[in-house]
Structure 1
Amino acid sequence: MRNTSLKSTAIKGVVWSAVDRFAVQFGQFVVGIVLARILLPEDFGLVGMLTIFIALSQTFIESGLGTGLIQRQEREEVDFSTLFVFNLAVSSFFYLLLFFSAPFISSFFEQPQLIDLTRILGLILFLNAFAIVQRTKLTIAIDFKSIAKSNVIGMITGGFCGVIAAINGYGVWSLIIQMLIGSFASSVSLWFLSHWMPSIAFSKKSFRLLFRYGSKLLIAGLYAQILNNVYNICLGKFYTTASLGYYTRAKSFADISAGTIVSILQQSTFPILTSVQHDKEKLISIYSRLIRMSAFLIIPIMSLIALLAKPIVILLLTEKWASLIPLLQWIVFSRIFLPLSVINMNLLNAIGRSDLYLKVDLSKLPLTIIAMIITIPLGVKAIIIGHVVTSALSFIINAYLPGKLYGYGPIKQLKDMFPFCFATIMMAIIVFIMTCFIDNLVLQLFFGVILGPIVYVFLSWLLKLEELNEVWTLFLK
């Protein structure tokens, strides 16, 4: 009965997490297209310059304590209140830090507008901090349905206000309005949906226990955010604002699919793996199936986006974004390894080994430094090619320790992916030949989107891939 209940809960969690991510990503995709057609690449570049400062502040605010609370098997009300008080105090500190640092940020990038942009966008730290505990409680309960509702409300509200602002000529401020109002709406809805009201209680003992686990995740999170956003700083400093705008849009397009799957995996698999952390056989079974299912989905999706990059960009964003095409074609391949790496790293967190998580993350630092030294002087395209190489090597590193602990390392994982790669290559050949005989971009996109999945599903059926049956069964349910 327990196994059936866990399976049912896991399926519901993954399904609602998927509904959440796909609905939000699709909505943001549509809003992003509308905004990109109205605004200029430079507007997106200006916001991209501030991304790392907001991301680093947000990482400090969360500090891995919410994850630590999810990982713990025994929780008390004072633990949640301690986390709430901590989040508010740290968000206040970092907002003040951003407020007074705004002139220095503006001077570094030589963009006067960044002073006001930084001070206003920084308010998002407060808005997010108010709802961290509510989101944590819903995650512990694997209530991704409520989380999905709040995220969709935030996406729709923020997107609507951002588009209205852009139409009325607010330029880069349209993006700030979209982010702030979206965050506010999402946070307010989480308060209503979680049915949890905070107290001002703060326990030093609770904080120490949570921070003992979360401190490693904090360091790893800071490291990851720096790596993910350091290119924004370099491009904003040494290249044009438009170049950074193209780069951020390329990442955004790639993350519509890969980022959606990564978000689903991060949100749903961690509490599921945590719940079976003491049952080794069940843990390995779930872990290996997640790896195979992720590869089954992400490899063909990313490949198809690369093949259809030209009609996607020209038709959706217009010719002014044509420089985005080669960047998008490369960056999607760097995203293939992200979901797989997330699962491998989530396993370490689920068994309470945040220390190993940190060690694995830091071990990849030399790769990133070498890639930056080589590629930054060569331009945006070279930087993204460097991403592809380092992402592949990082996957191997990420899979090494889980493989050593549970016997399912990078070699076995890659071996399991071979059938998916074969089916994807055959699909890519057929779609490429089709696009060579069709000049019309609309028809290229139309037939590519239809033909690609049909060919991949047919080949998966011929190869008798069990993941196809699982997807089909999940779809029917």
Structure 2
Amino acid sequence: MSLKKQALSGVFWSSLQLFGTQGIGLVVSIILARLLLPAEFGLIAMLGVFMGLAVTLINSGMTSSLIRTEHVDEEDYSTVFFFNLVVSCILYGLIIFLAPFIASFYNQPVLTSVVRVYSIIFVINAFSAIQITRLNKSMNFKTQLKVSIPSLLIGCIVGVTMAYMGYGVWSLVWSAIIQSLASTMQLWYYSNWKPLWVFNREKFKFHFHYGMKLMFSGILDILFTNAYTIIIGKFYLPAQVGFYNRAENLQMFPVGAINSIIGKVTFPLFATIQNDEERLKMVYKKIMQMVLFLVTPTLILMAVVAEPLFRLLFTEKWMPAVPYFQILCFNGILYPIHSYNLQILIVKGRSDLFLKLEIVKKILTVVIILISFQFGIYGLLYGSVIGSVLCFFINTHYSGKFLNYTAWQQTKDILPIIFVSIGVGGLILVSDLVLESYYFVDFFRLISGSALGVLLYILAAYIFKLSSLFELITIAKRQ
């Protein structure tokens, strides 16, 4: 199979997997949001930083090294597998010991038992990390689809049943554990790979040397990605954490879905053509524009219709999350660009520069948080938007050197998409205000706003000749 066909096949199966899991996950999260309280979601959100840190420490960037390295054998996979497994067990024991201190930090005693049970996921996921890595390396997303959908359904059934029976936060805990367990068992069943009883020190040193810098970068990223949740959890009520978490998750639904679909393919694709500078630049540019072409209008439209959207999906008790969501939508526009720029550094083998950039950006984030925290939660949120814009220029400056594609050139290529999306969003806002003044129901406001938004955006994209529209049309015709 040619590289192009392999990439398109990867996008197709990855799309089915992501839209399937994201769609089911969204429906279930809506049901759980109606059954549970914002504070109960807030408790789980407080643990996000610890879960993220554990995953980063377990992988140590070594799974990325396996994907990037052109020639790997059974000893490579087995060595990384046993390392992941041992580290996961050590981390689980450490979390059991630290659980009371975590609960004390947030002043939430119930977190002691919650974190001790929830963290068993570390060990469960370590058993399947290599299977997933092998599937990603070969762009075999069809098998991942066969695994992820049943696992998600099983976990969701457990979560909704327990929530309905009144188990509160424990319904979220056991839903995640059962889903992880079901996924791991299926991956072992479908995978034709089993570890050898071998640990090669030289291969470990090779992958760890490359992955170590990514690991430290990942630790910094996890800490600062969850910085707002940590601060809100420390200084505000769990319900506020729940509102922020709900807003962030819904905002990340379209961003995460589109970025993950293409992102799963881009890293192995970039790795394959890493030595062809001109081709790498062309592929990167097209992917960047296409993703923004889809993400930007979606987020702006969702921000415009956020009020009827939240009331219809989550009921009135979640309405305080609306302004959080609207601000975060603008924060999410540049998220895919951050990801793809950093992927360029990784495939070029510059994990050292990757780490340096992460340190610089985290120092910048600390400064922004220290300033914006004085203005409350909204100050923090607006500060995160400013930080995202500044990080865009930092990322594109360095990756642009490898691609001969400067930050200014990248900015010029994405500004038309952003301006067109904002213009269409303004028209939809006026339309929604008119419907609201006539007391139209939320469902009708959502349907009419979405339909009008899609039509206006396609029309505007055609009038202003946005290249991504014609690229998507060409791809659709080929299919």
> Taking structure 1 as the reference length, what is the TM-score of the superposition?
0.97
The aligned counterpart of 2:66 is 69
Deviation at 1:15, TM superposition (A): 2.2
Q: 1:404 aligns with which of 385, 401, 404?
A: 401
- Return the alpha-carbon distance in structure 2 between the equivalents of residues 151 and 223 of structure 1: 28
- Return the alpha-carbon distance in structure 2 between the equivalents of residues 232 and 466 of structure 1: 38
Deviation at 1:139, TM superposition (A): 0.9
The aligned counterpart of 1:237 is 234
8 Å CA contact 1:134–1:196 kept in 2: the answer is yes
- Return the alpha-carbon distance in structure 2 between the equivalents of residues 409 and 322 of structure 1: 42
- Return the alpha-carbon distance in structure 2 between the equivalents of residues 150 and 383 of structure 1: 38
- Return the alpha-carbon distance in structure 1 between the equivalents of residues 86 and 472 of structure 2: 44
Deviation at 1:456, TM superposition (A): 0.6
Deviation at 1:230, TM superposition (A): 2.0
Deviation at 1:146, TM superposition (A): 1.4
- Return the alpha-carbon distance in structure 1 between the equivalents of residues 408 and 266 of structure 2: 22
- Map 1:122-161 to 2 at 5 A: 122-161=119-158
Change (3 A) 1:298 1:236: same
The aligned counterpart of 2:163 is 166
SS at match of 1:379: helix
8 Å CA contact 1:42–1:241 kept in 2: the answer is yes
8 Å CA contact 2:135–2:144 kept in 1: the answer is yes
Q: Does 1:470 align with 2:467?
A: no
Q: 1:178 aligns with which of 166, 175, 178?
A: 175
Deviation at 1:160, TM superposition (A): 1.5
SS at match of 1:363: helix
- Return the alpha-carbon distance in structure 2 between the equivalents of residues 193 and 473 of structure 1: 35
- Map 1:313-332 to 2 at 5 A: 313-332=310-329
Deviation at 1:469, TM superposition (A): 2.5
The aligned counterpart of 1:457 is 458
The aligned counterpart of 2:54 is 57
SS at match of 2:47: helix
SS at match of 1:202: coil
Deviation at 1:11, TM superposition (A): 1.2
SS at match of 1:169: coil
Deviation at 1:421, TM superposition (A): 2.1
**Count of aligned residue pairs for this structure pair:** 474
Deviation at 1:407, TM superposition (A): 1.8
Q: Does 1:116 align with 2:117?
A: no
- Return the alpha-carbon distance in structure 2 between the equivalents of residues 397 and 149 of structure 1: 39
The aligned counterpart of 2:186 is 189
Q: Does 1:95 align with 2:92?
A: yes
Deviation at 1:379, TM superposition (A): 2.2
The aligned counterpart of 2:447 is 446
- Return the alpha-carbon distance in structure 1 between the equivalents of residues 465 and 370 of structure 2: 45
- Return the alpha-carbon distance in structure 2 between the equivalents of residues 364 and 183 of structure 1: 32
- Return the alpha-carbon distance in structure 1 between the equivalents of residues 261 and 73 of structure 2: 27
Q: 1:255 aligns with which of 252, 255, 260?
A: 252
Deviation at 1:132, TM superposition (A): 0.4
The aligned counterpart of 1:24 is 21
Identity %: 37
SS at match of 1:352: coil
8 Å CA contact 1:84–1:132 kept in 2: the answer is yes
- Map 1:416-431 to 2 at 5 A: 416-431=413-428
8 Å CA contact 1:45–1:244 kept in 2: the answer is yes
Moved more, 395-404 or 378-387: 378-387
The aligned counterpart of 2:304 is 307
Residue identity matched to 1:93: I
8 Å CA contact 2:62–2:208 kept in 1: the answer is yes
- Residues 49-80 of structure 1: per-residue CA shift (max 9 Å, x gap): 11111111111001100000110011110000
Q: Does 1:269 align with 2:266?
A: yes
- Return the alpha-carbon distance in structure 2 between the equivalents of residues 228 and 257 of structure 1: 18
- Return the alpha-carbon distance in structure 2 between the equivalents of residues 141 and 384 of structure 1: 39
Q: Does 1:392 align with 2:389?
A: yes
Deviation at 1:164, TM superposition (A): 0.9
- Return the alpha-carbon distance in structure 1 between the equivalents of residues 138 and 461 of structure 2: 35
- Residues 301-342 of structure 1: per-residue CA shift (max 9 Å, x gap): 111111011011111001101100100000011111110111
Deviation at 1:418, TM superposition (A): 2.6
- Return the alpha-carbon distance in structure 2 between the equivalents of residues 347 and 261 of structure 1: 19
Deviation at 1:188, TM superposition (A): 1.6
The aligned counterpart of 2:356 is 359
- Return the alpha-carbon distance in structure 2 between the equivalents of residues 219 and 350 of structure 1: 17
- Return the alpha-carbon distance in structure 1 between the equivalents of residues 163 and 409 of structure 2: 50
- Return the alpha-carbon distance in structure 1 between the equivalents of residues 65 and 140 of structure 2: 18
Where does the alignment leave 5 or more consecutive residues of structure 2 unmatched?
A: none
Q: Does 1:201 align with 2:202?
A: no
- Return the alpha-carbon distance in structure 1 between the equivalents of residues 476 and 176 of structure 2: 33
- Residues 428-466 of structure 1: per-residue CA shift (max 9 Å, x gap): 122112111112222111111111111111111222323
- Residues 354-391 of structure 1: per-residue CA shift (max 9 Å, x gap): 11111121111222011111222432222111111101
Residue identity matched to 2:459: F
> Taking structure 2 as the reference length, what is the TM-score of the superposition?
0.96
- Return the alpha-carbon distance in structure 2 between the equivalents of residues 360 and 255 of structure 1: 23
- Residues 385-415 of structure 1: per-residue CA shift (max 9 Å, x gap): 1111101110111111121222212211111
Residue identity matched to 2:92: Y
- Return the alpha-carbon distance in structure 1 between the equivalents of residues 305 and 259 of structure 2: 22
SS at match of 2:435: coil
The aligned counterpart of 1:382 is 379
- Return the alpha-carbon distance in structure 2 between the equivalents of residues 154 and 347 of structure 1: 32
Where does the alignment leave 5 or more consecutive residues of structure 1 unmatched?
A: none
SS at match of 2:226: helix
Residue identity matched to 1:185: A
8 Å CA contact 2:259–2:291 kept in 1: the answer is no
Deviation at 1:268, TM superposition (A): 1.4
SS at match of 1:418: helix
Residue identity matched to 2:463: L
Deviation at 1:125, TM superposition (A): 0.4
SS at match of 1:278: coil
SS at match of 1:36: helix
8 Å CA contact 1:295–1:417 kept in 2: the answer is yes
